[in-house]
Copies of this chain bind each other. A is one copy, B any other.
Amino acid sequence: MSTPEVRIGVVGGSGAAGTIVRPLVRERGCENVRYFASARSAGRQLDGRVVEEATPEALSAGDVDVFLFSVGTSSSRELVPHAVRGGAVCLDKSAAFRLQDGVPLVVPEVNGERALEHEGIIAVPNCCAIPLTTVLKPLHDEAGLRRLRIATYQSVSGAGAQAMERLRAEASDAHDLRQDWEFDGEEFDEEEKLRAETRKILELPDLPVSATCVRVPVLVGHMASVWIETEAPLSAERARELLAEAPSVRLEDFPTPGKSAGRDDVLVGRIRPDRSGETGLTLLLACDNLRKGAALNGIQTMELLLSRQALAA
């Protein structure tokens, strides 16, 4: 089965991430695509197709090979099991299953082989964990990661389409930084996700990670300032060589969210010695959080399965 032949179900195609899924699927020449949504959106037209309601019956009917879920965590938790029951592979963008045993958490360039071990669900990682691990993998393979410290600069599209509308309507005098995630008294869940998912993807369960996540008044694109301590010395020059050859990575002198927006690669730059440490580097990375940070990563994972004949025909 090739990409154009696969029967795809897009669930939640009208949200901030879902809106990116649809053109990416179309670009790949997929013809057998159906859209599913909640009762509220069902019946609407999207790209000339009528949106079907994402009922347990519709999702479990067995006539879809791959579902791409771009809905909230609670909706995923409720709906994904029905799609699995129907025999489909589910690529789920939500946090519902990411840390669950038996659910691969996949960045194709980093741990693509894990996708083949799925039991129906493959989780798409957090929008910051994807670019971070894409950049870290070749550095880890070379020098071994010892510690990570990360300060993020995350765009409002990560908070959804309504947050984008709010920023568009806001006077610049009201622009501020925010931390709009769930707080557990010490950390935001976004910071905890970044630690736990980075560990799972890189298969380094004890990697020390400290992250501070911040929302910035930019529409699309997430940036992160990262300090990387390595076990073995790793020069900035060697890191640049490794990253120049790494898949889905592009060297850029001064990465910014704006430069990453609409592009498929993770931008990485400002690669230099950590002047505060002994063996370590610091760098900036930026990534379109709606593309490689979400929809694109899921579609690339689907394509990996297809290329490995790992989807039922």
A→B interface (CB under 8 Å): 147-149, 151, 153, 167-168, 170, 172-179, 186-187, 195, 208-210, 212, 214, 216-219, 221, 223, 225, 227, 254, 256-259, 270, 272, 274-277, 282, 284
Partner of A177 from the list B149, B176, B209, B216 (CB cut-off 8 Å) is: B216
Besides A175-B217, A177-B257, A212-B225, 13 more A-B contacts (Cβ < 8 Å) are A147-B277, A149-B276, A153-B177, A153-B216, A172-B217, A172-B219, A173-B219, A177-B258, A179-B254, A208-B277, A210-B274, A212-B282, A216-B216
Complex Cα gap A221–B151 (Å): 18
Q: How many copies of this chain?
A: 2
Complex Cα gap A270–B183 (Å): 11
Complex Cα gap A148–B277 (Å): 9
Chain A contact surface mostly:
mixed
When A176-B257, A177-B153, A227-B227 are in contact, do A276 and B147 touch as well, CB less than 8 Å? yes
Which residues of B sit under 8 angstroms from A256, Cβ to Cβ? Answer: 176-178
User: Quick check: A210 and B282 within 8 Å, CB to CB?
Assistant: yes
| Minimum distance in angstroms from A185 CB to a CB of chain B | 9
Which residues of B sit under 8 angstroms from A151, Cβ to Cβ? Answer: 151, 212, 225
| Minimum distance in angstroms from A140 CB to a CB of chain B | 15
User: Quick check: B217 and A276 within 8 Å, CB to CB?
Assistant: no
Which residues of B sit under 8 angstroms from A178, Cβ to Cβ? Answer: 256
User: Quick check: A176 and B218 within 8 Å, CB to CB?
Assistant: yes
Partner of A225 from the list B172, B208, B214, B217 (CB cut-off 8 Å) is: B214
Complex Cα gap A208–B178 (Å): 29
